[in-house]
């Protein structure tokens, strides 16, 4: 650490000891591969180095430096993979050791975790959007770069392929009704970081009789935050707009074949809904940024020594939850532990007949403060229903109760699936940065 204050001779002796260590490694690991002449020369170099290191009369270190130069010259010939090291070899070793260290830390101590959805909003943010309705609103090159680095912002642009009205495809149920529909989507190939192969959600629209496609991340929902904001900003819901247009027959039907969420090709009845929006070829029909969800560090140590407590943020695997059966990590809030009885009454979560304690989010939901809208009765906690938590099981709820798929729908989290609890938000660089709630 304080090498700059060492004398030249002391630094030379330290370097000589390092060369001696390297030479002895080469001798022991390669002695079966070297011929007698190479091995004898290496042995003599090691012996001479040891001899010079023991001497005290070499005031200027000339003899020691000569011994180092001789040994280094021979190691260049017989060192093999130990010396000289190629830059590629060192780089591979560095990456390999880095990967081992990363896997060890994330497996036993701290795991980074990305929040993709809004189920824990506003405590934690999933992917959010900024929609640009005009070129004047769009951040320029420098601002976009800053947004990329600070917020993980990615730009999405869709241009009209022809002149004409925008048509929005919605899938109708087999027993057609104006309330039985969903935006047409499909599973499509989509590269991550422009390189890694992966999957995304494919959306397509039609302008002037020609189609245009948009690919978004798998866990991103486009309807309210993008389509409503871009095309129907004066409406409270994208689906309310589409429902009205279906009821007033502002559409034409088609039968198409598409890939569903399970990756299977299926035939679907589609209504091409008239948007009332007209574009010229090359016009931007959609322009928006997707901002990164919160990235957390998850503590994987504590639950080896203590049990999870009501109110903890909870990160768990879903592979062994029968109703989900998918290899994903979820984050929710722990609402019930083994033996607890839960009920939702007037937006308040009750644990063993008492208002839930252990997290500020419980109180915020109970009082419907700000964006916390209260807990919604549904599934196994519908109005008037109670549920008891069995052994080795836990009950998890999202803070964003109206838009969270959680234990109300798929029951309990097995104790064996619990990974840990979130401790800090480290990205993006917003006011939420810091210790998690």
| Number of structural domains in the chain | 3
Same domain, 349 and 257: no
**Distance in angstroms (rounded) separating the CA atoms of residues 394 and 410:** 12
Domain residue limits at 423: 295-435
Same domain, 339 and 424: yes
Question: What is the reported pLDDT for 258?
Answer: 65
Question: What is the reported pLDDT for 378?
Answer: 95
Task: Pick the last residue of a domain from 239, 256, 291.
Answer: 291
Task: Pick the last residue of a domain from 246, 263, 291.
Answer: 291
Task: Pick the last residue of a domain from 291, 313, 334.
Answer: 291
Same domain, 202 and 300: no
Residues 6+ apart with CB under 8 A from 83: 22, 26, 75, 76
Question: What is the reported pLDDT for 424?
Answer: 94
**Distance in angstroms (rounded) separating the CA atoms of residues 275 and 111:** 45
Q: What would the two tokens of residue 57 be? A: 């009369």
pLDDT in tens, 230-247: 999 999 999 999 999 999
312 assigned to some structural domain:
yes
Same domain, 275 and 189: yes
Same domain, 151 and 167: yes
Question: What is the reported pLDDT for 2?
Answer: 41
Question: What is the reported pLDDT for 357?
Answer: 95
Task: Render each residue's pLDDT in the chain as its tens digit; 437 residues.
Answer: 443 445 677 888 888 888 899 899 889 988 888 899 989 999 999 999 898 888 877 666 788 888 888 988 888 888 887 777 655 666 666 777 787 888 787 878 888 999 988 899 999 999 999 999 888 899 988 999 999 999 999 999 999 999 999 999 998 875 444 457 889 888 888 877 667 788 889 999 999 999 999 999 988 999 999 999 999 999 999 999 999 999 999 999 888 776 555 566 777 788 999 999 999 999 999 999 999 999 999 999 999 899 999 999 999 999 899 888 888 899 999 999 999 999 999 999 999 999 999 999 999 999 999 999 999 999 999 999 999 999 999 999 999 999 899 999 999 999 999 999 999 999 999 999 999 88
Same domain, 309 and 276: no
Same domain, 301 and 277: no
342 assigned to some structural domain:
yes
* CATH classification at residue 405: 2.10.109.10
Same domain, 60 and 46: yes
Same domain, 225 and 208: yes
429 assigned to some structural domain:
yes
Nearest alpha-carbon partner for 119 in 331, 328, 365, 324: 331
308 assigned to some structural domain:
yes
**Distance in angstroms (rounded) separating the CA atoms of residues 210 and 134:** 23
Evaluate whether 239 touches 223 at the Cβ level (below 8 Å). Answer: yes
Same domain, 178 and 265: yes
120 assigned to some structural domain:
no
83 assigned to some structural domain:
no
**Distance in angstroms (rounded) separating the CA atoms of residues 168 and 274:** 7
Same domain, 222 and 238: yes
Same domain, 149 and 264: yes
204 vs 26, 154, 412, CA distance in Å? 63, 19, 37
98 assigned to some structural domain:
no
144 assigned to some structural domain:
yes
């Amino acid at each position: 650490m304080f090498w700059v204050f060492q004398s030249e001779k002391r630094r030379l002796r330290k370097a000589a000891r390092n060369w001696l260590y390297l030479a002895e490694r080469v001798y022991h690991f390669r002695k079966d591969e070297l011929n007698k002449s190479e091995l004898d020369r290496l042995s003599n170099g090691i012996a001479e180095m040891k001899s010079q290191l023991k001497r005290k009369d070499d005031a200027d270190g000339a003899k020691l430096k000569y011994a180092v130069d001789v040994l280094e010259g021979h190691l260049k010939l017989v060192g093999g993979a130990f010396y000289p090291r190629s830059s590629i070899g060192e780089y591979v070793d560095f990456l390999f050791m880095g990967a081992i260290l990363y896997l060890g830390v994330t497996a036993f101590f701290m795991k980074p975790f990305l929040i993709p959805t809004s189920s824990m909003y506003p405590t934690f943010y999933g992917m959010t959007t900024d929609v640009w309705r005009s070129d004047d609103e769009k951040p320029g090159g420098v601002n976009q770069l800053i947004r990329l680095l600070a917020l993980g912002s990615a730009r999405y642009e869709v241009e009209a392929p022809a002149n004409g009205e925008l048509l929005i495809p919605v899938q109708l149920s087999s027993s057609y009704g104006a309330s039985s529909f969903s935006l047409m989507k499909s599973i499509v190939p989509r590269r991550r970081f422009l390189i890694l192969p992966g999957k995304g959600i494919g959306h397509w629209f039609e302008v002037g009789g020609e189609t245009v496609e948009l690919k978004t991340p798998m866990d991103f929902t486009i309807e309210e935050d993008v389509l409503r904001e871009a095309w129907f900003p004066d409406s409270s819901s994208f689906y309310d707009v589409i429902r009205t247009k279906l009821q007033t027959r502002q559409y034409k039907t088609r039968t198409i074949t598409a890939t569903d969420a399970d990756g299977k090709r299926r035939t679907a009845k589609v209504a091409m809904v008239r948007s009332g929006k007209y574009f010229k070829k090359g016009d931007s029909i959609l322009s928006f940024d997707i901002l990164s969800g919160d990235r957390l560090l998850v503590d994987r140590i504590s639950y080896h020594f203590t049990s999870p407590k009501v109110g903890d943020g909870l990160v768990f695997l879903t592979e062994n939850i029968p109703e989900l059966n998918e290899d994903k990590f979820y984050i929710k809030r722990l609402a019930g532990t083994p033996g607890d009885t839960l009920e939702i009454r007037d937006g308040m979560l009750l644990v063993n007949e008492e208002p839930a304690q252990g997290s500020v989010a419980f109180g915020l939901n109970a009082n419907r403060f700000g964006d916390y809208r209260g807990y919604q009765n549904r599934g196994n906690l519908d109005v008037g229903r109670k549920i008891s938590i069995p052994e080795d099981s836990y009950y998890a709820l999202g803070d964003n109760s109206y838009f969270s798929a959680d234990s109300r729908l798929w029951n309990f989290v097995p104790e064996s699936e619990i990974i840990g609890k979130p401790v800090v938000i480290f990205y993006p660089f917003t006011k939420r940065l810091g210790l998690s709630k």
